[in-house]
Amino acid sequence: MSIASIICRGVAGVLFLTAAPLAAQTAAETAASLAARTRGAATAPITIYEMSDFQCPYCRSFALNTFPVLDREYIATGKVRWVFINFPLTMIHPNAAAAAEVALCAARSGKFWEVHDLLYRNQPTWAPLTEPGAFFLTLADSAAIPPDSFRKCLVGRETLDEVASDAKGSVQAGASSTPSFYIEGGLLPGAQPVAVFRQILDSIYIAKTAPTP
């Protein structure tokens, strides 16, 4: 199953959109890739797919300011399962796709979220670089990733197809800007404030956990 088909499932499991599976990845490999960039319990009643760009300043603001609050209030409490989907807007952010490859290479060592945070925190440093590769390689040390496997993954472009599949799935799902969020089949665009997320998530949680009459 492709990432595009996974992120487009509705509340009742209805498949809104599908895309051809990656030729270079098996269903198990795709599932493993998603699992490495997922936070929260599999039993959480709400699933959110965040479609984001590591070079996007609005995504950075969301990641550094809003997401930690949502993580504490909804993910850590078992209410929400959160999945990160790469949606690099390469026409305006020339280093975004490379940064997405970096994050997915880190995911192979179980360090996706550590590198996710490092990329957003250091975005002002690497985003304007003509060639950010040397900086990206330093993240292995910062995130305690085995440097040889990390370099091999980056140099070999081993996660290129995963990034392309993510981006294709995001477009087919209707996202046109970053960040965008699929929340139980509905699309929420923009780096909305915590209050907006609370209103939506609390409403869905009450509806999904209410006792059956």
Burial 61-73 (b: 16+ CB within 10 A, else e): ebbeebbeebbeb
How far is it, in rounded angstroms, from Cα 116 to Cα 35?
15
pLDDT along the chain (213 residues), means of 10: 36 25 60 92 96 98 98 98 97 96 96 98 97 95 96 95 93 93 94 97 95 77
What sections of 108-146 are H helices per DSSP?
A: 112-121, 123-126, 133-142
**Which two structure tokens, joined as six digits, stand for 162?**
């995963």
Domain residue limits, the chain:
3-209
Q: What is the DSSP letter of 15?
A: B
CB-CB neighbours of 133 under 10 Å:
13
3-209 folds as: Glutaredoxin (3.40.30)
pTM of the model: 0.87
- C-alpha neighbours within 13 Å on the C-beta side of residue 192: 15
What sections of the chain are H helices per DSSP?
A: 3-7, 27-36, 57-61, 67-70, 96-107, 112-121, 123-126, 133-142, 147-155, 160-172, 194-209
